[in-house]
């Protein structure tokens, strides 16, 4: 196998969080002519967005990962947006740093309660099958508690701990609040493009038109299954410390959860 040696396997890494608009972010960045997404090869990867090297595909080896992400032209920037990377161990992150020493890293945070509900809805759909979508709901019980463990709700919501493991190796991580993406997408994407070393204003006209179209598009949304009140309050109590820790450390304010609790109350 003839593999071109580049400084990074992935030039732009997004490490999560899951259900925090990472698919939309990938879609918009990929509108730039210098951005490169690997070919879709499901089920080995997740579409052309998530390589899943350190969780699904480590056994395939570094040469496989490098080959997957090597773009056809040397000046293109390759993307790997795998939210599960936020859970990587210190040893895995150290290996990632060796393979991607100058990668630009992005970490999107979303209110832990709302993110958890969105993730649980997604996992419920996967388990039930789309043909039973109309019958789905999330209610408290043993199956729900097992799903919370399976979906790694607590681990995915440990934003500060996950960030600090990564920050030991990457000292310039762009941390975003999902609520800012929703409220101020133009401002946020200007920050994202600058962080990634890309320019919006100099894009060719056709690429800029595609960029504008993608900015207005929603890529993925979980089906809004009914969620029982006791589920909401259980998750609220479970994840409240994670919210407070993240708000203090990152100087963020999460407000999205308040609407869910107002409805439940």
Confidence (pLDDT) at 56 = 94
pLDDT for the residue 258: 87
H/E segment holding residue 178: helix 178-183
Fold observed for domain 12-264: Rossmann fold (3.40.50)
Across the beta sheet with 104-109, the strand order is 35-36, 77-81, 12-14, 104-109, 173-177
What's the pTM value of the predicted model, to 2 decimals? 0.92
Q: Could you report the average pLDDT of every consecutive run of 10 residues in the chain (265 residues)?
A: 75 96 96 96 90 96 96 96 98 98 98 94 67 67 92 97 98 97 95 97 96 84 75 94 98 90 56
State the pLDDT at residue 14: 98
Q: Domain coordinates of the chain in residue numbers?
A: 12-264
The alpha carbon of 122 is separated from its chain's Cα centroid by a whole number of angstroms, namely 14
Q: Which tokens hold the place of 169?
A: 């190796």
φ/ψ (deg, to 5) at 67: -65, -40
Query: Could you please report the per-residue DSSP string of 33-48?
Result: TTEE-PPP-TTTSBTT
Cis peptide before 17 (omega within 30 of 0): yes
CA 90 from chain centre, in angstroms, equals 19
């Amino acid at each position: 196998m003839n593999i071109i040696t580049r400084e990074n396997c992935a030039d732009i890494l997004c490490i999560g969080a899951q259900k925090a608009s990472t698919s939309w972010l990938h879609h918009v960045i990929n509108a730039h002519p210098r951005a490169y997404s690997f070919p879709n090869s499901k089920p080995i990867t997740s579409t052309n967005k998530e390589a899943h090297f350190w969780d699904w595909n480590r056994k395939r080896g570094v040469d496989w990962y490098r080959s997957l992400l090597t773009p056809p032209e040397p000046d293109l920037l390759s993307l790997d947006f795998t939210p599960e990377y936020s859970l990587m161990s210190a040893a895995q992150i150290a290996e990632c740093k060796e393979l991607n020493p100058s990668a630009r890293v992005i970490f999107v945070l979303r209110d832990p309660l709302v993110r958890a509900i969105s993730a649980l809805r997604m996992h419920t759909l996967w388990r039930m099958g789309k043909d039973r979508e109309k019958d789905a709901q999330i209610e408290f019980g043993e199956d729900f508690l097992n799903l919370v463990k399976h979906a790694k709700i607590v681990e995915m919501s440990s934003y500060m701990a996950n960030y600090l493991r990564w920050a030991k190796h990457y000292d310039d991580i762009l941390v975003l609040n999902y609520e800012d993406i929703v409220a101020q997408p133009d401002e946020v994407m200007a920050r994202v493009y600058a962080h990634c070393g890309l320019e919006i204003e100099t894009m060719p006209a056709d690429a800029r038109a595609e960029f504008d179209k993608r900015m207005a598009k929603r890529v993925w949304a979980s089906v809004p299954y009914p969620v029982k009140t006791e589920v909401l309050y259980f998750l609220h109590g479970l994840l409240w410390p994670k919210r407070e820790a993240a708000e203090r450390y990152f100087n963020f304010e999460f407000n999205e959860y308040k609407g869910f609790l107002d409805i439940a109350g």
